[in-house]
Amino acid sequence: MILLDSFITIESFMWLFLAVFMIHDFEEIIFVESWMKRNYATIDKIIPKVARKLVKNMSEVKSSQFAVAVFMEFIVFIPITYLAVEQHHYVLFIGCNALMFVHVFTHLAQSLYLKLYTPGVLTALIVILPYSGYLFYRLIIEDIVTLKEILLYAPSGLIVLPLVLLGHKVGKLVIRN
């Protein structure tokens, strides 16, 4: 890791958050609609009853509608990243990255539970997981934040959840079936 530390500044690496987010969400945008069409009948039988309504709603989402939600998140992530990199306000940036890190494990759990590929699991494991781990490592070793601060700021990422829900509602309004 020390070799990589000398090749990219922490500021540049922080700006890569936007690319990492988009790479992951492109996988979801590209595959969610066709995957749901192919797999909904099968997964509906094996998922817990508590998750059925959510999965049913997701089964009706068009990729273009999903892209609207992603666009809304991306637009919010730009100023959050700017504030962290240029103004040294890290709370929301760390929160969003912590949420993205936890999101890796939701993808992994879904794939393991269903025993099949789920949209987003590949980029979660090969892009987000290493990015998040290295980001937090760099933020700590460069004395930008402490581990305690990362843990303290992590819940601020939950502000993204209402945005995601709103984005899916807007997507259904803007792009009709």
Report, as an integer, the average pLDDT of 107-118.
Answer: 95
**pLDDT at residue 31, rounded to an integer:** 96
Write the single-letter amino acid at 175: I
d(CA 45, CA 53): 13
Task: Select from 173, 177, 176, 171 the least CA-distant residue to 28.
Answer: 171
Which one has a higher pLDDT value, 130 or 53?
A: 130
| Residue 111, domain extent | 2-174
Task: Select from 14, 133, 137, 123 the least CA-distant residue to 70.
Answer: 123
Report, as an integer, the average pLDDT of 58-77.
Answer: 92
| pLDDT of 3 higher than 80 | no
**pLDDT at residue 52, rounded to an integer:** 86
- Total structural domains within the chain: 1
**Mean of pLDDT over the chain:** 93
**pLDDT at residue 23, rounded to an integer:** 98
d(CA 149, CA 141): 13
- Give the predicted TM-score (pTM) of the model: 0.91
| pLDDT of 94 higher than 60 | yes
CA distances from 45 to 48, 55, 56, 115 (A): 8, 11, 12, 13
| pLDDT of 136 higher than 80 | yes
